[in-house]
Chains A and B, each alone.
Chain A
């Protein structure tokens, strides 16, 4: 089957997108484990929280840059070998990831605000509250933060599994579009597969 993609379409996400992707993948996976760990650990909670707050805000800042980059620069199309329903699920899950990457740090910040907790990034460096002190708001924000965090973990596992399917089974250029390597490399992969 001929690859009918437009020769002007990029084969990779731009470098900014790729750097942010892998940097934030590590940060988000770490945050998820730190977050769930700090709710159960009887040894590490104070130090896990001390990391959780500044890392959460760092991810929020990075996702703003990432979204701007995403909206301004073209992204590589999915290969035509990907069925339409799969492409739909892929795009929907990516927008869901953006939604979660934005809302989780904001919800964390709002939770602390509603509970009248100082939002300390580093000793002596506090963020202002973004919500009034209210037990009802605290209950809602805290509960949502937890539910969405578990949802993010589930979507990350799905995302990562699908990425590995593309990398190791389909080998259709989808994984390499977010990875390193030249455009020539992914073309060769497609030609090899077409010859099978």
Chain B
């Protein structure tokens, strides 16, 4: 009989231990990879308790936004350096989203200096190109962990309402590259409209030409409209939703245009460090023009349930080894899965217009 009686256990105790060790090791390894224990920085770390405690249905960051749609007019200029069908001379349907960079989906538009454009281009061959661009050209730190470190270091101390200077100093010691973005952001003019803002991809990608050649690039969506700057006073007095009211008004009057400007890296340029902008003299190629035509409120808009994951690129465009790019994929996915579960299982309320 196959018996696990005491006699068998005593005789073969070492083999039982062996089986328990094998099974136990696999379980522990799985649990560790799943982030269930240990101090590993995972994509979940970036979301904290917002995964479970949040206004249901909203994005955990940049939750306040508005959908737009239009056409991307590709002029063929980049076809020589990339085989992507989206760079052939053609017109491509575009779905996009403007948002503000706040963790609160009901924040006032003047509560943050960060504005964003997200875009999904669907080429005729059913390939998709998704991107998510911010109005600042580079990332504060060389890696994603630096973002968390900066958040911790600059958290206002309850007693003073200001960051702890010792924590800030320690942060700048570990991430000296963060100094320049802090200084530049302090001097940056505040934008009064989505229409005149330039949106930057921040992370580098590799274009693959038909002959196999690689070309690292970063790009920006450069507006045809003039930049509209606000003084701090004007901004402080602006209405709660002034940016969104403004873009609805402008697009009702006519389309808005942005050029897709590729910046070509030269050998030796820091491709995998998003905190290092490339020299201004680098060659630029205008690959096409985005014509934004209509806005739709996010609550019923097509853009609402899209994850503008910047790692979704078509053949002809590849990811660089920029660590922040890889990190964004996982972080966006966590937020996306949380909010689509909330929407799909009926837990969302004003996010879906209930």
Contact = CB atoms under 8 A, between A and B. Distances in A.
Interface of A: 32-33, 36-46, 49, 81-83, 86, 115-118, 123-124, 126, 135-140, 142-143, 153, 157, 160-161, 164-166, 168-170, 172
Nearest to B42: A40
Contact of B30 (A36, A43, A160): A36
A44 B40 CA distance: 14
Nearest to A166: B2
6 contacts: A39-B43, A39-B330, A46-B319, A135-B340, A138-B344, A139-B343
B327 interface: yes
Contact of A126 (B27, B126, B341): B126
B2 A123 contact: no
B19 A161 contact: yes
Given A123-B315, A169-B12, A135 B343 contact: yes
B165 interface: no
B2 A37 contact: no
A143 B337 CA distance: 9
Q: Could you tell me the dominant secondary structure of chain A's interface residues?
A: helix
A161 B26 CA distance: 11
Nearest to A86: B2
B277 interface: no
B329 interface: yes
Given A32-B30, A126-B126, A139-B345, A157 B43 contact: no
A32 B34 CA distance: 10
Interface residues of B, number: 51
B159 interface: no
A155 to B, nearest CB: 12
Given A32-B30, A142-B337, A160 B126 contact: no
Interface in B155-200: none
A42 B144 CA distance: 8
Contact of B331 (A37, A42, A165): A42
- 5 shortest A-B CB distances, which residue pairs? A139-B344, A40-B42, A42-B327, A168-B15, A136-B344
A172 B8 CA distance: 14
B325 to A, nearest CB: 8
A160 B334 CA distance: 32
Contact of A36 (B23, B34, B144, B327): B34
B4 to A, nearest CB: 8
B311 interface: yes
B42 A153 contact: no
Contacts of B27: 157
Given A40-B35, A42-B46, 20 more contacts: A32-B30, A36-B30, A37-B33, A41-B43, A42-B331, A45-B329, A46-B319, A126-B126, A126-B127, A135-B340, A136-B343, A138-B305, A138-B340, A139-B341, A140-B344, A142-B340, A157-B23, A160-B26, A166-B2, A168-B19
